[in-house]
Structure 1
């Protein structure tokens, strides 16, 4: 009996130690599951069963279990019942992870939205356009090329090809349609930077502004400029790893105000000489955008009035954190067609239906390689200057997101290609090569 008691005690001690050391990981796992479930069910209007079978069905997230409360529009994620996290959905603001002390009854400011234009054809409205047949397109080859990345391995959810402002090919996986909102993950970063381009065009911001935060006044961080932040070349410490407990995962699943996380990070490199991909930097930029406005309502409205609703991306929702700041690094949801509209805005150098939101100078700036990025990165936009996609033009650039979300802009070919999915397994170079071979300019 004594041996049994001692054995049980040792097991209990070992279990306690294991829980103690793994608690932060369990916290993040449950947080990811709860947040993703709330967004999927209440924002993207998918079922809990679909979400658990697909979006949350990968290691180690598949260790969690999820429940929803339809009445209060909330989702709860737990890991073996040891730890629970809750996310709530708020109309106009999306889903957010909350803490026990979060007052769900407190009214929240929400962005004002424009009425969707459902009568004007795409791209300037949301109605279908009349089919246009281009004699220089091999539609059979185009279809065969795109079909190859729709399988269980690639888990592609949508591919959209827009040529000369016309949708020439569009395909969705089972369960998805042109109305399905899809999470862009880090494609959201390009939304955030575009807003800086708009402010720059309006002569309302100076990219060379330094001494950005009081916390930086007394050390070398005072030399960091908005320009350095846009290029992710500030020299600030940051670890971007979604497979571990990193700065990125702690920010997304533990922090109340994501705009402040990197403010407190030390300088470990030199501005303009230390490119380092950082979601913390983009949320820092979201905080800087907030500082451009007298009221929080103006900040919330600006993202939609100046860009999102302005170009008819009416399906798009940018989710906020608990402090009601936009999570500019990661949380934009939209249909494939609306993601394509952002690409078309860049293809047309900031002009949209006769109105200039930004100019050619911004496009040139945003697509100029950041020093020390090996030609991969501009101002929150990915580049092909370093031939990441060897069979695509070097002046192609793209908005990219976690798990293989892409909007490719090919200026010389008058082409925008959207791909969304659940994995990065798809060979995007081969896809782009096949599309280019299908369209003879």
Structure 2
């Protein structure tokens, strides 16, 4: 028996060594990091290089007279804790009405927003349009990125990227350590990864959620603005909106490229400003940050069917998720894979932010916890 166990151990060590060697010689050394950390988390700014998004001239949120007066419904509170919620915040009529934190997080805690960052990139596209740095959403990407001038990529426009209809072959897999998404998260050369993509289908035909689309938009913005994405976000969004805390955007390597499709770190109060800006149609305290026409266009359903499920195209705009009708209200929201949300109900002048480590079950193109959060917010904002 002892000899047999020794053979098994020896075989296991040999298999691991061969696997490690195969990874090394394939050039996919990011897999080591992916396997070590196992799965992305909300505190991953501790393991990646970051570019700061400095705050300046903070504008603290007013606190409503009924702040935290209404207790959270028992089942809702239980669900928040089961989903390992870090923050839950409700803004009504421009002031904080509900605010709760768990598991050691607080008002100044920075956590990963994951794909909420995609909506921020869309907002920055709107800023660049207003400034004339982007002339039209129908501009070919190749006018900004020479690598897109052939191979069918020359047909791809900024609009195609915003609508998740580029037709590129990005592999949106979160469990496969060899996927493009895993390489984007743990690798160290985002631009090379982007340039490896090939055209799979004609652009503009169907919706297919792919993080690579957002990363390309960020590269377009960097070329159009002539500065790093985080720096552009700081001067065009973060500082004009009066953010109270410096935010962070993860990079692929030191002094590298922002992981634009994810990995913007901030707190619930400052994330709420982004929802409030869209609630106010791109206008912040009288200043037009984003042209209202772009805001409305980005919140209009693309009409594109989901390539994977065939769902009708009323659930997505330009990097914003849309709920056309829930209890007679319209809602739109930014969302991250672990249940990060900035939810806006315009008719109630309400913004909800939830940050945490798990999300609810899928319900069509949306998630059950999104509806639960809306219900809780409606209770607060009566």
SS at match of 2:80: coil
The structure with the largest alpha-carbon Rg is 1
Give 1:14 shift: 3.7
Does the 8 A contact of 2:56 with 2:243 survive in 1?
no
Q: Distance in 2 between matches of 1:142 and 1:34?
A: 29
SS at match of 1:244: coil
Residues 172 and 281 (structure 1 numbering): CA distance in 2 closer, same or farther, change over 3 Å?
A: same
Does the 8 A contact of 1:237 with 1:268 survive in 2?
yes
Q: Distance in 2 between matches of 1:310 and 1:354?
A: 11
Does the 8 A contact of 1:321 with 1:327 survive in 2?
yes
Residues 8 and 251 (structure 1 numbering): CA distance in 2 closer, same or farther, change over 3 Å?
A: closer
Corresponding position: 1:413 with 2:358 = no
Partner of 2:337 in structure 1? 402
Q: Distance in 1 between matches of 2:66 and 2:293?
A: 34
Give 1:238 shift: 1.2
Give the TM-score of the pair, scaled to structure 1. Answer: 0.72
Partner of 1:301 in structure 2? 231
Corresponding position: 1:16 with 2:17 = yes
Corresponding position: 1:131 with 2:64 = yes
Consecutive unaligned residues of structure 2, counting only runs of 5 or more, are 307-312, 361-367
SS at match of 2:294: helix
Give 1:324 shift: 2.3
Partner of 1:432 in structure 2? 374
SS at match of 2:372: helix
Superimposed CA distance per residue, residues 137-186 of structure 1 (whole angstroms, 9 cap, x where no aligned partner): x95465557524332x2211111111100111111114122121121111
Partner of 2:323 in structure 1? 384
Q: 1:311 aligns with which of 224, 241, 251?
A: 241
Q: 1:251 aligns with which of 164, 184, 189?
A: 184
Corresponding position: 1:167 with 2:96 = yes
Corresponding position: 1:115 with 2:45 = no
Q: 1:321 aligns with which of 252, 255, 258?
A: 252
Corresponding position: 1:203 with 2:138 = no
Residues 264 and 356 (structure 1 numbering): CA distance in 2 closer, same or farther, change over 3 Å?
A: same
Q: Distance in 2 between matches of 1:238 and 1:282?
A: 11
Residues 321 and 161 (structure 1 numbering): CA distance in 2 closer, same or farther, change over 3 Å?
A: same
Give 1:237 shift: 0.7
Give 1:236 shift: 0.6
Does the 8 A contact of 1:260 with 1:287 survive in 2?
no
Corresponding position: 1:332 with 2:261 = no
Does the 8 A contact of 1:391 with 1:433 survive in 2?
no
Write the mapping of 1:56-95 to structure 2, written as runs, cut at 5 A. Answer: 87=48, 89=49, 93=51
SS at match of 2:87: strand
Give 1:304 shift: 0.5
Partner of 1:55 in structure 2? none
CA RMSD of aligned residues (A): 3.0
Q: Distance in 1 between matches of 2:56 and 2:147?
A: 41
SS at match of 2:242: coil
Write the mapping of 1:349-360 to structure 2, written as runs, cut at 5 A. Answer: 349-360=281-292
Give 1:28 shift: 1.5
Partner of 2:294 in structure 1? 362
Give the TM-score of the pair, scaled to structure 2. Answer: 0.82
Give 1:247 shift: 1.1
Write the mapping of 1:144-159 to structure 2, written as runs, cut at 5 A. Answer: 144=74, 146-151=76-81, 153-159=82-88
Does the 8 A contact of 1:178 with 1:337 survive in 2?
yes
Q: Distance in 2 between matches of 1:31 and 1:254?
A: 13
SS at match of 2:79: coil
Does the 8 A contact of 1:263 with 1:284 survive in 2?
no
Q: Distance in 2 between matches of 1:436 and 1:377?
A: 23
Consecutive unaligned residues of structure 1, counting only runs of 5 or more, are 41-74, 76-86, 95-110, 118-124
Q: 2:157 aligns with which of 206, 216, 225?
A: 225
Write the mapping of 1:225-304 to structure 2, written as runs, cut at 5 A. Answer: 225-245=157-177, 246-256=179-189, 258-294=190-226, 296=227, 300-304=230-234
Q: Distance in 1 between matches of 2:338 and 2:120?
A: 18
Give 1:421 shift: 0.9
Superimposed CA distance per residue, residues 216-271 of structure 1 (whole angstroms, 9 cap, x where no aligned partner): 32332211101111111111111112111211011111132x24423321111121
Q: Greater relative contact order (Cα 8 A, min sep 6): structure 1 or 2? A: 2
Q: Distance in 1 between matches of 2:40 and 2:348?
A: 42
SS at match of 2:225: coil
Give 1:286 shift: 1.1
Residues 160 and 145 (structure 1 numbering): CA distance in 2 closer, same or farther, change over 3 Å?
A: farther
